[in-house]
Amino acid sequence: MPILATTPTLKISSHELSQIRQLTELKSSSGSHSPSLTTMQESLPDINVAIDACYLSNPLATDLFWKFFNSDVQMDDQLFRRIVEAYPAQNANIAERLAPAIGVDSSRILMANGATEAIQAIIHNYASHLHVNVPTFSPYYEFATPGHQITTFQSHKEDGFALDPVQYVDSVVKSGADAAILISPNNPDGYMIPRGDLNWILDRLSYLRTIVLDESFLHFGLDAPPGVLPSLVSVTEAYPNVSIVKSMSKDFGIAGIRAGYAVMAPDRVKELLDHGYLWNINGMAEYFFLLMTRRNFITEYLGVLREYRGAVSRFTARTANADYVTAYPTSANFQLMELPPGLPADLITTLMLVRHGVYVRNCDDKIGLDGEFIRVAIRTEKENHQIISALEDVISSV
């Protein structure tokens, strides 16, 4: 919507207005995703992004990865050159080595060049009609081909975006879909389906050809026994129509590496390997997956996960009682916030960027969100204070 028409009494400089226009243009040319930080900084060199609160990762885990990588490179000065120069191992070989860390048999694992590749592989091969609950992560409908039918189930802000299992199953059945998509915790609202609800849903939907269960944000919401990575992968053994999709970018803060996987019935993995997905893992991703097999890395990771979840809790405790936004409860490492009436999300996100260098996600393009919403990634303790201050400042000043 036109910014100036909505808020006629804005106090912005002409330079800010020019930046707002440039950002609008950049965003509209990026499809349904925010422009990457690099793309944005190249297009608008005079905007200094101090905090990337679009990026949904655990920053402490990036530090941990960095620590291990640098130490390994120091121990073996040819390591990084080999990573760049040599062909990585094949998909199935990496799956075999990774299997114990994930806790399923390697025959169930399809390694992927980021979770998006796994999503694409599943949707293109094992679904013709997708039932998607909205709002959601857009690749789930973007990767559909013209041959796919898509129907939706709407979750509501009035319920905190909770998924009512009975209504949901009813909606899937009535849609006639052969595939259902569930993200838990869901992006952009952070709602995690309780385990009891999930089992009830999977039981009723066992007739479907495919259920995609995306657990990319599960580490931030699910409690697991000590020493164990939170995961739902074991449900694929009881429900052969379920594919678990997992991104490594969020938990481990390594989006640039493009590392993900899916866990599903062995016959599907075999079929997908036979049709391609052979050499899709790059050298850095292979290094990362082997890191996951090292006990000391996992132990330290679980430590930084605990620490980060503490920061997430303190952030949401502060926003829960905020009067300047409506912050929805979240089981993920981000929070969906609805802006006060009359404040457009594109204006608030732009002013946060221009005035404070804080880059948050404008949710204007999210299908199924009724109102003006932003999604804020929760970062380090220090950054979280700055994010909240910037938000308070911008909202109170317009």
Residue numbers of the site for a copy of itself (CB under 8 A)? 30-31, 33, 35-39, 52, 55, 57, 62, 65-66, 69, 81-90, 93, 113-114, 116-117, 120, 124, 139, 142-145, 249, 253-258, 274-286
Closest of 96, 65, 379, 100 to residue 227, by C-alpha: 100
Ordered DSSP codes for 216-245: TTGGGT----TT-----TTHHHH-TTEEEE
Cβ closest to a copy of itself, residue 64 vs residue 218:
64
Tokens of 303: 């430590």
Cβ closest to a copy of itself, residue 221 vs residue 283:
283
Q: How far apart are CA 341 and CA 359, in angstroms?
A: 22
Cβ closest to a copy of itself, residue 52 vs residue 189:
52
Q: How far apart are CA 136 and CA 50, in angstroms?
A: 27
Minimum separation from the CB atom of position 183 to a copy of itself (A): 17
Helix, strand or coil for residue 59?
helix
Cβ closest to a copy of itself, residue 101 vs residue 222:
101
Tokens of 336: 């969906």
The H-assigned helical ranges of the chain are 3-6, 14-28, 37-43, 59-75, 79-85, 91-102, 115-126, 139-142, 165-175, 195-204, 235-238, 249-252, 266-274, 283-291, 295-320, 345-356, 381-397
Cβ closest to a copy of itself, residue 69 vs residue 301:
69
Minimum separation from the CB atom of position 229 to a copy of itself (A): 20
Minimum separation from the CB atom of position 260 to a copy of itself (A): 10
Closest of 23, 65, 95, 45 to residue 256, by C-alpha: 65
Q: At 275, phi and psi to the nearest 5? A: -100, 15
Q: How far apart are CA 179 and CA 122, in angstroms?
A: 10
Cβ closest to a copy of itself, residue 90 vs residue 199:
90
Q: How far apart are CA 371 and CA 337, in angstroms?
A: 10
Cβ closest to a copy of itself, residue 89 vs residue 109:
89
DSSP assigned state of 380: -
Largest CA distance in the chain: 62
Specify which residues 397 forms β-bridges with. Answer: none
Cβ closest to a copy of itself, residue 64 vs residue 244:
64
Minimum separation from the CB atom of position 103 to a copy of itself (A): 22
Cβ closest to a copy of itself, residue 125 vs residue 313:
125
Q: How far apart are CA 264 and CA 108, in angstroms?
A: 5
**3-state secondary structure labels for all residues of 252-273:** HCCHHHCCEEEECCHHHHHHHH
How many of the other CB atoms lie within 10 Å of CB of 352? Answer: 24
Minimum separation from the CB atom of position 30 to a copy of itself (A): 7
Minimum separation from the CB atom of position 87 to a copy of itself (A): 4
Minimum separation from the CB atom of position 167 to a copy of itself (A): 30
Minimum separation from the CB atom of position 362 to a copy of itself (A): 16
Minimum separation from the CB atom of position 279 to a copy of itself (A): 5
Helix, strand or coil for residue 122?
helix
Cβ closest to a copy of itself, residue 30 vs residue 149:
30
